[in-house]
Structure 1
Amino acid sequence: MRKQPEEHAQNWDLRHEDFNDNDFLYDVYSVMRDRAPFAHTDVPFLSATPGGAWVAVRYADCYKILQDWEHFSSNPTPEASEQLAGDLIITLDPPRQQKFRKVLNPYFSPARMKALTPQIRGETDRLIDTFISDGAGDLADVAWRQPGIVFFKYLLGMPIDDVPLCIELTDTALNGQTEEARMAAWGGLYQHIHGAVSARSGAPPQDDMIDVLLAAEIDGEKLSFADVVSNAMLLVQAGLETTASAMSFAFHYLATHPEERDRLIREPDIMPKAVEELIRYGGSIHGIPRTVAKEVVLNGHTFCPGESVLVNYASANRDAIEFPGADRCVLDRQANRHLGFGAGVHRCLGSNLARLEFRIGIEQVLTRMPDYELAPGKDAVFHGNSVTRGYRRLPVVFSPGERSTE
């Protein structure tokens, strides 16, 4: 029997089975935002702290925490540190974090990502080609495989044949049913990336992200091998899971709102705004950890050193104080400072790539199967209960089309 939203709000547990219902989860977030600036969870999820964590659920508070790295550090708690295999850019604070990021930033520049447009469009079309003539297919395959193929083939320098395995391991590591399954998947992914990086020893440079990490120097010192492997692993996780989840959600939304689907086809000029709104509304990230480094008062609440805080992007992005009509998807929303890519010094490194993959995925589906809708008699499978949430199966039907000439 499902708990009431008020009961969930007292002790938020994102892995609870009730939260496989996405609308219900947002009902709980609404209660949490109305009740107090900060909720609490006793569940050691993400924070890896036995005492649980505070949860920031309102937009203004989330934004301030993300901007204030001096009080809300990205350095993990001691318990979480034990689970890390290296010095990750996402767990560092300035100045080292800024120096590390300076090494990677040029590789994700807007110009470099824009140059990938033809390749991303081609890879998306090839995925659609596998079912376009049938008049039926699974759009989750496009959402989950396109970002992986693009990232592995054009940025990371790993074989695209590795994509299905890495998707499976990443998904299980984040969303597995048990702690044992999740930890085994983390270990499997680490070993796979370890092998890929090891294979570069003595090999000619390929001008990809692995080579960038191997050559990187911070304060005159190269990264340790463990740090190279761990950060390559981090890039794989970030490049696969979050974009895929968001894209799958957008495909489902447009399939179930044909008037919105048709509007995007009819008014292509609103696509840039629609991309931002679908990212805001979809809310594929539900918790990013911070550790309190120094005592600080925020919105009347005193945070003490050592405490964990989870910054809930998804809840913040449905805060009506920042987004009028926050629970509606407004494709041409004018003011949209969503937190889909975070904020502050740790704002998503790959946001330019993610936006491009997301936009092209939607454009190609709408261009080649403009009347697509959910397949009658077949269920779309949504996977929640975790920090990333999206559709694992999305069966659709449409008027058959021709394969791409590429």
Structure 2
Amino acid sequence: MSFDPADLAFIADPYPAFAALRAAGPVHHHPGLGLAVTTTHAAADAVLRSRSLGRLWTDVAPVAAFAGFNLLHRNSLLESEPPRHTRLRRLIAAAFGRGHTERLRPRVEALAAGMVDELAARVRDGEPADLLALLAAPLPVQVIGELLGVPEADRGLLQPWSNAIVKMYEYGLPADLAAAAERAAAEFTAYLRALVADRRRAPGDDLVSDLVAVRDGTDKLTEDELVATAVLLLMAGHEATVNVVGNGVHALLTHRDQWDGLVADPALLPTAVEELIRYDAPLQLFERTATAPVTIAGHHLAPGDKVAALLGAAARDPEVFPDPDRLDITRTPNPHLGFGAGIHYCVGAPLARVEVSAALKALTATLPTLALAGTPTRRPEFVIRGWQSLPVTA
């Protein structure tokens, strides 16, 4: 029993396949992916938290052809383990801890409101407009641009770079898309080196300036680590937010009672955000490698064996989430794993929550009669789950 991550029918709705796998056991070897996959919340949580499993970066080959992509990942917080991970997270968290989320909150809400106003103007005459193009995609790009201090005139560069680089996380990627990912990595790295040099000369109130300045005694981030951190923030911040907003609005509009409930009671926003992250997870799979013999839910792993937490399967586990296939914006508690767990818990989770909440607040206040218009187009990838377009009207 398995699934085909390239099957468009599976990509459209992977959850029945996950339920069937879960019924057969908590961990299965997937011959196509070449690793074990978990199907339960407990097993996924164990994968994310076990110190006998790590993120062990192996350069993409041929190494000379992927110099930019490999440099970013060799120096990434996400692709490191203690003691290096401990050091990187301490420095990055110290820079993030200088109030950036609260500094940006009013700006995020203003950006979301402005984008929704434009969306409203487009749909007011009954013509459909793409919610992804007008809100879900540009909002996180603008927010990450504000966070990093990227000049507004340059922010149009960020989304294409992110979209190209993250394709490398899919399985069986065609050679032309892999080459595009490397070009994007090299271009983004060169851009950020110039931005870092500028912030060394003239610091601002942005995160890049704080990452340049942060110290732990005599320790500080190297330039490669700083650049890799900025790229990780864009890719994780952009891809997660665009797909939580896109997947979430689609879920709400196809469960009209839940949309109407949120319109009627904006106080439900905090629990709604968590439920949308759970219900249709933007990241479906997170891979780790055994560094020592370890057993996950009865499945034995030797050093070097790989295992992946199926986050979408964990989010529909009936042992943790009663009636898991039901969208319930009042659901509490909601211990989803959408931001990870353990030492790799997402450092940008508070900012992502602010962005999703701001988008939903603006949509429900300005466009309470929002509805789907036509058939949305899904991205053809499995690991990063989202829509290519989401036409709406009001």
Asked whether the two chains share a fold, i.e. TM above 0.5, the reply is yes
Distance 1:219 1:96 in 2: 16
Residue 104 of structure 2 corresponds to which residue in structure 1?
116
Q: Pairwise CA RMSD of aligned residues?
A: 2.4
Residue 87 of structure 2 corresponds to which residue in structure 1?
99
Residue 131 of structure 1 corresponds to which residue in structure 2?
119
Contact 1:281 1:317 in 2 (8 A): yes
Contact 2:144 2:233 in 1 (8 A): no
Question: Are 2:173 and 1:187 aligned?
Answer: no
Q: 2:166 aligns with which of 174, 178, 194?
A: 174
Letter in 2 for 1:169: W
Unaligned 5+ residue runs, structure 2? 64-68
Question: Are 2:285 and 1:296 aligned?
Answer: no
Letter in 2 for 1:246: V
Cα deviation 1:218-273 (Å, max 9, x = unaligned): 68444333222222211110111111111101111222222211111112222211
Greater shift, 217-226 or 95-104, is seen at 217-226
Contact 1:174 1:387 in 2 (8 A): no
Distance 1:87 1:120 in 2: 29
What's the secondary structure of 1:40's corresponding residue? strand
Distance 1:372 1:309 in 2: 41
Residue 68 of structure 1 corresponds to which residue in structure 2?
50
Letter in 1 for 2:55: S
Cα deviation 1:108-158 (Å, max 9, x = unaligned): 4495423422211111122123232232422112011101101112x1111
Residue 136 of structure 2 corresponds to which residue in structure 1?
143
What's the secondary structure of 1:90's corresponding residue? coil
What's the secondary structure of 2:43's corresponding residue? helix
Greater shift, 144-153 or 192-201, is seen at 192-201
Cα deviation 1:198-227 (Å, max 9, x = unaligned): 243253112323233334456844433322
Greater shift, 31-40 or 157-166, is seen at 157-166
1:77 Cα deviation (Å)?
A: 4.7
Letter in 1 for 2:163: D
Contact 2:96 2:207 in 1 (8 A): no
Letter in 1 for 2:54: S
What's the secondary structure of 1:92's corresponding residue? coil
TM-score (norm 2): 0.88
What's the secondary structure of 2:201's corresponding residue? coil
TM-score (norm 1): 0.85
1:13 Cα deviation (Å)?
A: 3.9
Residue 36 of structure 1 corresponds to which residue in structure 2?
25
Tell me the number of residue pairs that the alignment of Structure 1 and Structure 2 aligns: 376
What's the secondary structure of 2:295's corresponding residue? strand
Q: 2:383 aligns with which of 379, 384, 387?
A: 387
Distance 1:225 1:173 in 2: 20
1:365 Cα deviation (Å)?
A: 0.4
Contact 1:76 1:290 in 2 (8 A): no
Percent of aligned pairs sharing the same letter: 28
Distance 1:273 1:219 in 2: 40
Greater shift, 249-258 or 316-325, is seen at 249-258
